[in-house]
Amino acid sequence: MGEEARIVSGIVQEYMKKHARSKQIFDEAWKVMPGANTRIAVFMMPYPAYITRGEGSSIWDVDGNQYVDLNFNMTCLVLGHKHPKVVEAINKQIECGTSFGGPTEHEVELAKRLIDRIPSAEQVRFTPSGTEAVHQAVRLARAYTKKDKIIKCEGAYHGTWDAIDISVFPTPEEQGPPLNPNRVPFSKGIPQGVIDNTLVVPFNNIEVMEKTIKENKDDLAAVILEPIQRGYEPKEGYLEAVREITEKYGILLIFDEVVCYRVRRGGAQELYGVTPDITTLGKLIGGGFPIGAYVSSREIMKQFSFELAEGPQLFFSGTFNAFPLAMVAGAATLDALTPDVYEKMDRLGEEMRTGLSEILSDQNIEAHVGGVASFFHIFWTKEEVVDYRTLKTADTRCQNYFDLDSLNRGIYYRDHPNVSAVTTREDVKKALDAARETVEILKPVIKEISPGLVQ
């Protein structure tokens, strides 16, 4: 038996021993949900731990296991679980009722906070999810420019919606040439007509972006990108150059800050000093409740309004838009994010990045650690990760085994690992102590499956 089979089967067995009740629920889930899940991002092998509750920086599962949470529902809970200020705001609102067939003052309050913080925000629209924010932002760009095509970056995930679910995780057989990627639907059920209107370029490559924009300028409504795409940063000057070219050709630039808004009070656009035309938001701005939003200039947002001579050009509604509990939880969250909280999260994020780098280097493993501000991430590859193709050189098996063994040790990473405002030095120490043991145990596996990573 090879090291992978021997060591990983031990990790899986221990996981199953510690997660017996989760297994029972998982078996039930198979009967009532296709693939036993209703959110693929939280699915994992052999099966996920079913969570019961969270408090501060900890979560617990149905088997009674406690974890240091370094996921915070994929970055949403920037203040941790059950933050007193958020709980107080929610309780106060629940006393008044949960939702109404009319607007509440709370949506105006949250909108004002976003406008105060985000450079590209003069006006705001709320949605119940980041996906819908992206959908509506693209529709807005199309209405404003009266053009249909959009450009997105290969490997970027912007939610689950047809026009954007293209070339998210293409396989090597599907992906095509690196500088001229194929447009690969991420899912069945996306019509060819939709695929035809989405152009795909590599992230961080300004030459290809410029060429694609020039060639399609008469049909292009917008370029949409995540300023920090799946944990790797834009190269110096990249965002500035995209801004310059889009402006030159009258094409709108959309920043998807659903995840990376977290890095600064004004989001990644504040960090990199580049202001897009439209920004999409979600996750943390709902304080743990479902939410999305898109913000833009008054001029662009006029498409929704009676200010236009021809009347509103865009229809937009939704029963749960500006859901009152999300509005008050979001406002309480933003109010609690003072400069010292950002500073603390940056510091602990850096401690995680440095600590993980040291652990890998002590074991002579050449994987490297990335991330910005409160984000950290091990890239299981020697290559510098700058786009989807370089990210694909990372060994996902190493990632999965690392995450699974970490769960056995009470550390919960999963996608978008991050620290929150309530993460403590003790949490970081626990996570790093556990990571040291995990990496030591996995080293023979890594040597076997990814020999190039071990010196």
Ligand X SMILES: Cc1ncc(COP(=O)(O)O)c(C=O)c1O
- Choose which of 158, 264, 377, 389 interacts with ligand X (CB under 6 A): 158
Interatomic CA distance for residues 294 and 127, integer angstroms: 8
Q: Is residue 289 involved in binding ligand X (CB under 6 A)?
A: no
Active-site annotation holds for 256: yes
Q: Report the C-alpha dihedral over residues 143, 146, 149, 155, rounded to 10 degrees.
A: -30
Footprint on residues 119-138 left by ligand X (CB under 6 A): 129-131, 134
Q: Which of 147, 149, 152, 283 is catalytic?
A: 283
Place of tokens 């709980």: 87
Q: CB of 145: closest distance to ligand X in angstroms? A: 21
Interatomic CA distance for residues 180 and 270, integer angstroms: 31
Is the CB of 130 or the CB of 155 nearer to ligand X? 130
Is the CB of 194 or the CB of 441 nearer to ligand X? 194
Q: Which of 144, 157, 238, 412 is catalytic?
A: 157
Q: Is residue 281 involved in binding ligand X (CB under 6 A)?
A: no
Q: Which stretches of 117-167 are assigned E, i.e. beta strand?
A: 123-127, 149-153
Region at 163 (left for phi over 0; alpha for psi -120 to 50; beta for the rest): alpha
- 46 upstream amide cis, omega within 30 of 0: yes
By the 8 A CB rule, do 187 and 118 touch?
Answer: no
Active-site annotation holds for 283: yes
Interatomic CA distance for residues 29 and 15, integer angstroms: 19
Footprint on residues 244-263 left by ligand X (CB under 6 A): 256, 258-259
Q: Is residue 157 involved in binding ligand X (CB under 6 A)?
A: yes
Is the CB of 60 or the CB of 169 nearer to ligand X? 169
Full DSSP string of 343-373:
HHHHHHHHHHHHHHHHHHHHTTB--EEE--T
Q: CB of 320: closest distance to ligand X in angstroms? A: 12
Q: CB of 318: closest distance to ligand X in angstroms? A: 13
By the 8 A CB rule, do 127 and 143 touch?
Answer: no
- Choose which of 69, 107, 165, 226 interacts with ligand X (CB under 6 A): 226
- Choose which of 54, 80, 155, 159 interacts with ligand X (CB under 6 A): 159
By annotation, the residues acting in catalysis are 157, 256, 283
**Interacting residues with ligand X (CB under 6 A):** 74, 129-131, 134, 157-159, 226, 256, 258-259, 282, 292
